Amino acid sequence: MDHLVHLIKHCKMALLSVAILIVSLFSSSITVLATTPTDAGAGQVKVTGLTIDKHEVRNNGYVNVAVAFQGGANVQPGTTLTINLPQNTTNVAGLHGVRGKQAINATYNGNTIDNVATAEVSQDKVVITFNDHVKQLPNGFVGNFRFNAVAEAAINSKDKVTPATITVDGQSVSINVTNNSTPVGPGVSSQKPIDTSKTYL
């Protein structure tokens, strides 16, 4: 009887050890997946996320756009990533970028390198250009930045709500733009527009 009890205890300990090992391996794999860029190919940089700080905005109101990006291994200086901004047409709203430049940082496995690229915003696009500092991240990287834009309602949008949509690398985000004469609900920007003729550094 004592031998049987001892055998059962031994089996329980063995099963517990196996369970701990499996959990440990699974946790390790999650960490690797969370910190190692996999979507962008070698030498490439892709947008992995887009968000806008408002769901609706008045014509000529401004919004803030957040961009997340990912670089593959061995991205070279001079590599660029372009985000085209929609321009308003007869029936579609647009977003006009607030001109300016900003330095962008990037990270790999907790190691952050400052000023690996410059984002230059113009009326119709944002261009990110990587510099020599990107060589310090040969195994890939992730990063993010923000920029401002002015919402422009569709030309024939009197008393209507029309969407403006940014799409790049399979990522997409939209915001509804209302004509100034259209009543709007809570959370809608009514701030003064940013002057897009000026350069903000």
pLDDT tens readout for residues 54-93? 999 999 999 999 999 999 999 999 999 999 999 999 889 9
pLDDT at 147: 98
Q: CB atoms < 10 A from the CB of 198, how many?
A: 9
Give CA separation, 129 vs 71, 81, 82, 135, in Å. Answer: 12, 7, 9, 13
Q: CB atoms < 10 A from the CB of 160, how many?
A: 16
Q: Where are the strands (E) in the chain, listed by range?
A: 45-52, 56-58, 62-71, 80-84, 94-97, 100-108, 111-121, 125-130, 141-152, 161-168, 171-178
pLDDT at 22: 39
pLDDT at 156: 82
Instruction: Indicate the pTM of the whole model.
Output: 0.70
For domain 45-178, the CATH architecture is: Sandwich (2.60)
pLDDT at 3: 52
- The segments of the chain whose pLDDT lies below 50 read 4-5, 7-8, 12, 14-38, 182-201
